[in-house]
Amino acid sequence: MPHWYQRVAQSLIAAWLLFSIGSVAADSNAEILSAAQVREDFVELYQTLQEAHVNLYSQRSKAEYDALYQQMFSEFIKPLPRDQVEIAFQRFVAFGRVAHARIDGLQQRFVAFRQQGGRALPIGIRIQDGKVWIADNYSGVATVQRGDRLLALNGMPIATVLQQVGAHVSADTEYLLHTMLELWFPALIWQEFGPLSQFQLTLQRAEQTPQVLTIDAKTRSEAQAADAKQAPVLSLDWDQREARIINGERAAIGYLRPGPFYNNEPGANDVWDNRAFVEFIDQRFKQFIDAKLPAVLIDLRDNPGGDNSFSDHMLNWFADKPYRFASDFRIRVSAATTASNARRIPPDESKHGSIAQQYAELYAQHQPGDVVSYEFPFNTPKAGPRYHGEVFVLINRRSYSNAVLVAAIAQDYGFATVLGEETADLATTYGAMEQFTLTHSGLVVGYPKAYIIRPSGNTTVRGVQPDWPIKTPIVEAADDPVLQIALAHIRARMNN
């Protein structure tokens, strides 16, 4: 399967399973909305974001947001298809530069387009140091090669293209924006410019003279066939749980790839049932302890995240002190958040049951607009046998959500040494998403209800920065060069 399709699947899991944010409610109304309906929904969108978003103006001033609101409101003067309303509203939400404020519709529309035989741009990109490179080539054109620099697309400078399509992506930082553009570049090009039959690429190889090539758009099956003819490259399976002992000249190292922090068992009815995960982790750490391994490497690269009820169990095997995932968790109380939370409480929920019930009790004690800190309890390290060797955590820019929290906890409490590439997702973030539905369009809007500060209290707007940075190549060879460098680092440390 082409590698960017795997990343598409990862994003879909993260958006649909973990956060349950779709673009349109199941009972939404007509496909065409009148100008009055669009305007009424737009008013509802901005008003509710102002009331419920924990900090809507964290990266844009109110004056800037008001100006965009007035401009867009004045342009809604004719009926519009719902998908065009969705695109416009997402651009408005994305203006705030907060990744957890968004309307997830592009993914669904593009996947449906592709399943119907739709043709799209057959390349994957990598953005590094402000430059754009060809990371995957599904065109079938041999003169397009991985590692070529992409200077222009259809005659438009690539920086202009990124700026144009990036306006539709919710992202707190340029680094996170670029990571999301890598994931969804063909889809964003399709959304921005429509279905095209051909694309003109301006490419440069090393220091050679740039060349202009024309490639055909490809269906999904055509792209897969072209990919099969390419030399193999690394393709990390984000859904796989794996553990093994990697032998070396002087010492063996335990390798654990825990996979997503939710139930990914085939046919699972409850995505948050952690029993199979707990069994897997217990067996693997017992194996590492029995083998008297001096070090374990936990690989969180390309991990979509999940829930701490999974990851805490893993951390408890090597944590040596009580811990929690945040030093502060500040929630903005609002009618939208109260209603969204109430939908997660079963009718027979006991008074002091789930976290949703605890949130409901907190909201009842405060007024809309109040920002209150919710105190999460500390987790206690595992009683009985634990792993006492050195632990290392390997991350990359595509370690998301709860995987970032795991790396931050391990780093801030000194449980592990973090290696690899800085995460694009933030360690201190606006998150804990809730949602509301717009009246006429049925569009479902996700927003962050909380400001989550990492355990160290550091509020810098960045991802987890590794203790031992390892640069990820533009094109990763099939032998996994980053993992090999990480293992060499660990062995060198063991030998000192």
CB distance 124 to 175 below 8 Å: no
The mean per-residue pLDDT over the stretch 154-172 comes to: 98
Rg (the chain; Cα; Å): 23
Nearest to 28 by CA among 437, 446, 344: 437
Q: What is the pLDDT of residues 199-258, one digit of tens each?
A: 999 999 998 999 999 999 999 999 999 999 989 999 999 999 999 999 987 789 999 999
Length of the chain measured in residues: 496
* CA distance linking residue 18 with residue 12, whole number of Å: 9
Please give the model's pTM, rounded to 2 decimal places: 0.92
Q: What is the pLDDT of residues 297-307, one digit of tens each?
A: 999 999 999 99
CA 203 – CA 468 distance, rounded (Å)? 33
Residue 83, token pair as written in the block: 């998908």
| Distance from C-alpha of 125 to C-alpha of 148, rounded to nearest angstrom | 10
Euclidean distance between the first and the last CA atom of the chain, given in angstroms as a whole number? 42
pLDDT of residue 250: 75
Please write the tens of the pLDDT for every residue from 354-397: 788 999 999 999 999 999 999 999 999 999 899 999 999 999 99
User: What is the model's pLDDT at position 20?
Assistant: 44
Give the tens place of pLDDT for each residue, 1-60: 445 444 444 444 444 444 445 555 444 445 899 999 999 999 999 999 999 999 999 999
**How far does CA 135 lie from the centroid of its chain?**
19
The reported pLDDT for the residue numbered 29 is 42
pLDDT at residue 26, as a whole number:
40
407: pLDDT strictly greater than 70: yes
User: What local confidence, expressed as pLDDT, does residue 349 receive?
Assistant: 57
Percentage of the chain beyond pLDDT 70 is: 93
Q: Is 197 exposed, middle or buried (0-12, 13-18, 19+ CB in 10 A)?
A: exposed
d(Cα 445, Cα 105) in Å, to the nearest integer?
Answer: 10
Instruction: State residue 347's pLDDT score.
Output: 73
Mean pLDDT calculated for residue range 71-75: 98
Give the whole-angstrom CA distance, residue 467 versus residue 399.
16
Residue 98 predicted with pLDDT over 60: yes
Q: Nearest 5°: phi and psi at 470? A: -130, 120
pLDDT at residue number 11: 45
Residue type, 17: L
Predicted local distance difference test score (pLDDT) of residue 25: 47
Tokens of 333: 């109380």
Mean pLDDT confidence for 73-97? 98
- Mean per-residue pLDDT over the chain, rounded: 92
Per DSSP, the three-state class of 416 is: coil
Residue 470: pLDDT over 70: yes
What does the pLDDT read at residue 354?
79
Q: Would you say residue 338 has pLDDT above 60?
A: yes
Closest CA to 426 of 335, 305, 334, 272: 305
Do 118 and 219 touch, CB atoms closer than 8 A? yes
The pLDDT assigned to 27 comes to 41
Three-class DSSP category at 436? strand
Domains detected in the chain: 3-114 (no CATH), 120-228 (2.30.42.10), 242-495 (3.90.226.10)
Reply yes or no on whether the pLDDT at 189 is more than 50.
yes
HEC secondary structure over 357-415: HHHHHHHHCCCCCCEEECCCCCECCCCCCCCCCEEEEEECCCCCCHHHHHHHHHHHCCC
Average pLDDT on 449-474 reads: 97
Mean pLDDT of the 398-417 span: 97
Q: Are 109 and 117 in contact (CB under 8 A)?
A: no
**pLDDT band at residue 352 using 50, 70 and 90 as cut-offs:** low
